[in-house]
Structures are given as C-alpha cells and as structure tokens.
Amino acid sequence: MRQKGRKVPPPTPTPPIDPAVIVAERNAAMLSMDEQTIRAYYQKYNDMTAPTDMEVFWRMVHKARTAIRTLPMEERQRSKRWLLAHDSEPLDDGEVPV
C-alpha cells in the first residue's frame, strides 16, 4: 500500500549484455563438456530449463557444438562424430569433416 505523497522509484534498468561476453561464456561452457557448467549457462540465458533426459541433453549440446563456428574444428568434429554414432544429424552445413 502506497503512502500518500510518497513516490515509488522506477525499477533499475537491467544493463545491456555485451554479446562478446555471451559468446565467450557459451564457448567456455561448450568446450568444458561439463553437464553442470552447460546447464548453468543454459539457465542463465533461457527461461526454460535444459532437458532432463540425458540423451536429449547431450544431443542438444553436440548439435550446438557442430553449429558454433567459433569453436575449434577438432571439437566440432568430435561432436559431429558423436551425433552420427547416435543416429542424429549435425547442424554444421557440411563444413565440418568427419
């Protein structure tokens, strides 16, 4: 309940997020291949929770890794091989060799 004559200050605006920071955090999480690190990154930038089914979770991670052009090619290849071994399609548009 507001008191008469007392103004409520406006909410503090959220500072803009530097895209370079997001990319660096994403790359670090994806290169870590640590489930908790990846989940923490996912939760930080998404309103949804990461999949609880481990097969779905790792498929999502590996698909993302094949598409991220700023990751080392060896890491993208590793994920592409994982996806192919699990009957799944990579997201690399063919630029990542097997």
Q: What is the pLDDT of residue 17?
A: 83
Can you tell me the distance from the alpha carbon of 34 to that of 36, in angstroms, rounded to the nearest whole number?
A: 6
Torsion, Cα 94 95 97 98, to 10 degrees, reads -40
What predicted TM-score, i.e. pTM, was given to this entire model? 0.81
Planar angle of CA 32, 38, 39, nearest 5 degrees: 155
Residue bearing the bigger pLDDT, 3 or 49 = 49
Whether residue 64 is predicted with pLDDT greater than 90 in this model: the reply is: yes
| 65, HSE (Cβ side, Cα atoms, 13 Å) | 25
What is the number of H-type helices and E-type strands within the chain? 4, 0
Q: Is the pLDDT of residue 33 over 70?
A: yes
Which residue in this structure is represented by tokens 């640590």?
A: 34
- Residue 5 has a pLDDT of 67
